[in-house]
Structure 1
Amino acid sequence: MNTDHPTGHRWRRRLGSLVGSLAAASLLVTACGGAGATSGVATDSLESTGPAGDAAWQQLIEEAKAEGEVTIYSSNTTEQLTELASRFRNEYGIRVDVVRDVDANLHQKIGAELTTGNAVADIVVQATPAWSEQLGTTGELTAPLGPAVNESEYDAAALLRPSHDFVTNASVGTFAWNTDRLPEGLTGYEDLLDPALAGGRIGTVLPTSAAHIDLYENYLDRVGGADYMERLAAQKPRIYPGALPLAQALASGEIAAATFVQDQTKEAEAGAPVDSGFDDMVWGGPMYAGILTDAPHPAAAQLLANYLVTPAGQEAISYRAASVLPDIASAVITIDKVAPQDTAAMTPEALEALKTRFNQLFN
């Protein structure tokens, strides 16, 4: 591994307004306080910041500390990102500003920053592989240098792409039910097509990201049978803007069953009348990280990117998700248990086509 600073990466601090270009819809979280203080992420596994790296890497860590801050844009959950920021600051004394938003909005923000030269983001983590691949192909992403990416249990051969974006975790969604309204439970996605669940007793999510292309047009057909989307639409389910409001509706009893929520073990342990199950093949949306070539804090960006795939970072970012390392206590599964995606089909054009088809079927 070459840990020398690449001359082509334009490692420099940009001036100008950093916050002014952020849209009001963003959630800006400045990490503070102790690790685990807000998220409840499990910490009973052995934490590690990965391989120490060579002298050049240690020098980069010092440069990152001198920069003192780093900004991450991500569509991971607020819970994951807040924990990540807290842990990273506790470990290195570097403040992490988190801008949490859906993929489409993050893409617009990055596009505006690239166009105006008003760089804010240092690293972006999102679920649209075609977008980050294009960003890397045009030279807007720089290769991760850290030893955790290149010299550890992380499977760089499978998860680090030539476009310099790399998989950090995968959001995992599955079917679930309200145990008061549906005490017999569900055994799989085919059960959601029971006529007894028609007429608003089921909830599903509105497609908003490229990952939903795989969910609706690939995965559900494989585990629930051909034309699953059409048969689900015939059930007249309620539509929710995301997995979180869908899970909230499930817990409140507004709906009896849901197509796509996080594993409900945590909610059930807290007393909510919910449960969930997994098919043999689990749906997951891999999250792709990329270090911006014009990152205002290039050393801190490299350090945070490396931290994402260390055991300590995985405990945060893979909370209730699929991890890219084994033995992560907070994760639901490891990424090798996630059904493969057809990433070539997950394009912005395909997402718009899915939205149109979804509206025609479900409205």
Structure 2
Amino acid sequence: MVRLPALCYMAIATGIVSAYDPNLGFKGGPQIENRTIDEIYEAAVAEGGIVTVWHGGDEPGQQEGLKQAFEARFPKMTLNVTVDVSKYHDGNIDRQLATGGVYVDSAILQTLHDYPRWDNEGALLHYIPLNFYNLQPSFREIRGAWYGITVVSWSIIWNKDKIAEGPKEFEDFLKPEFKDKLVLTYPNDDDAVLYAFDLIMQQYGYEWFEGLLAQNPRWVRGSATPVSLLYQSNTTVVATFTSSVGLAPPEPLGIAFPTKGHFVTWPQRAAILKDAPHPEGAKLLHNYLLSEEYQSSQPTWSVLKDIPAPAGYDDLANIQSTNPNGFEGFMADRERAERLRLFFEDKIGTPQGLSPLKDDL
């Protein structure tokens, strides 16, 4: 008989002790908010007047508008917001959870698959904010472990000063006039862009991708980078489909959503960590994000059922060429996503360049 060293027995025993299932405690009932937002504000100020949020993104100042709006609405509060790529934020949150040193209050990330996992680990606060039941039902976890707070959409974008007519469908990107003039985010560097390529190629076939490569696009890191390059007058690039500028693009950008091709939308999720050091501040932030005041001010489709689409756009539920719930399933299948990532890595190489948070584009 093989005898295991004492340390092995200790490791096994420790693993058994720590491998518990918090769901079997049946203590998952949510906290249901019944205070006004001003009463929550008072509690958050009494707690210290601070809320720390980690927000997915790829440009350092992307959430400066949120910080300014929140602090203007609640002048006794300080919103500490750190923007980084979601696939890096989630690992660092895992590190905090593993070491017991949680210092983030709220996580707003693109990595939708992380939220069920964190909830199963008992890491998320079950909290029902004031407008929870006005959310689209598929945009919320029934106990308030997480919920969508904004709808992100990849649109076709072009610079109207550089080209008379922009592309309207994904097939248009293969037209001769766009050769050497496209800028695209590496699909093997961003899961939402990977999903976009998957949708397009499942519809138009591998031949479409071959045609796109023949156009010699400029590949970049970060989904905000293509828009930055489109703005620059000294670049030859004129169009992209791997970015978002909302539904009210600033001049001189034009946008279109394909009606034949399938485009990407999803509700960006938010959650409060159960061990958040500032839970009242996090509750205030989440209630503000889901308020009609904030949702009505955003140039995109709302996650709330009673906020109409911006002028000139149909309700998201009526648009046949997108499924805002499809990205969740894509993100959950990590094995398939990894196979796709490696497929594109083989075709276009590994992502080159600095992190988009560190470059100067």
Task: Report how far residue 191 of structure 1 moved.
Answer: 0.5
Once superposed, what is the RMSD of the aligned Cα atoms? 3.3
Match of 2:108, SS state, is strand
Matching of residue 299 in structure 1 with residue 283 in structure 2: no
Q: 2:64 maps to what in 1?
A: 82
- TM-fit CA distance, 1:121: 0.8
The match for 1:322 among 298, 301, 304 is 301
Deviations 1:157-191 (A, max 9, x none): 22112471111112222122333543233231110
**Aligned-partner Cα distance in 1 for 2:128–2:152:** 25
- The corresponding residue for 1:225 is 204
**Other-structure match for 1:121:** 104
2:18 aligns with none
Tell me the percent identity: 22
User: 1:65 and 1:124 mapped to 2: Cα distance?
Assistant: 20
Aligned residue pairs, count: 305
Q: Give 3-state SS (helix, strand or coil) of 1:267's partner.
A: coil
Segment of structure 1 superposing worse, 71-80 or 158-167? 71-80
**Superposition TM-score, scaled by structure 2 size:** 0.73
Q: TM-score, normalised by structure 1?
A: 0.73
- Sort the Cα spacing of 1:172 and 1:125 in 2 relative to 1 into closer, same or farther, 3 A: same
For 2:222, give the aligned amino acid. Answer: G
Contact 1:321 1:333 in 2 (8 A): no
For residue 185 of structure 1, give the secondary structure of its aligned residue in structure 2. coil
> Which residues of 2 match residues 137-286 of structure 1 at below 5 A?
137-150=120-133, 153-155=134-136, 157-162=137-142, 164-198=145-179, 200-207=180-187, 208-218=189-199, 220-221=200-201, 225-227=204-206, 228-252=208-232, 253-263=235-245, 266-268=249-251, 272=252, 274-280=253-259, 282-286=263-267
Q: Partners in 1 of 2:52 and 2:42 — Cα distance?
A: 18
Post-superposition Cα deviations, 1:286-305, rounded to whole Å, max 9, x if no partner, equal 21111101101112112212
Q: Is the 8 A contact 1:314 1:328 kept in 2?
A: no
**CA 1:187–1:58: 2 relative to 1, 3 Å:** closer
The question of whether the paired residues in 2 share the 8 Å contact of 1:159 and 1:166 is answered with yes
Q: What amino acid sits opposite 2:98 in the alignment?
A: T
> Could you tell me which of 321, 340, 343 is aligned with 2:328?
343
Equivalent-residue separation in structure 1 for 2:315 and 2:54 (angstroms): 24
Deviations 1:96-128 (A, max 9, x none): 100111111111220111112111110101112
Select which of 96, 99, 112 maps to 2:95: 112
Q: Which ranges of structure 2 fall in alignment gaps of 5 or more residues?
A: 1-26, 350-361
Letter in 2 for 1:259: F
Quick one: distance in 2 between partners of 1:160 and 1:352? 27
2 CA distance for matches of 1:304 and 1:288? 13
Distance of 1:306 and 1:58 partners within structure 2: 10
- What's the secondary structure of 2:128's corresponding residue? coil
1:96 to 79, 99, 102: 79
Comparing 232-241 and 291-300, the one that deviates more = 232-241
Rounded Cα–Cα distance in structure 1 between residues aligned with 2:28 and 2:256: 48
Using the TM superposition, give the Cα deviation of residue 79 of structure 1 relative to its aligned residue in structure 2, in angstroms. 6.0
Measured after TM superposition, the shift of residue 129 of structure 1 is 1.5
Is 1:290 matched up with 2:271? yes
Cα drift, residue 229 of structure 1:
3.6
- State the distance in 1 between where 2:63 and 2:215 align: 36
CA contact (8 A) 1:123 1:292 kept: yes
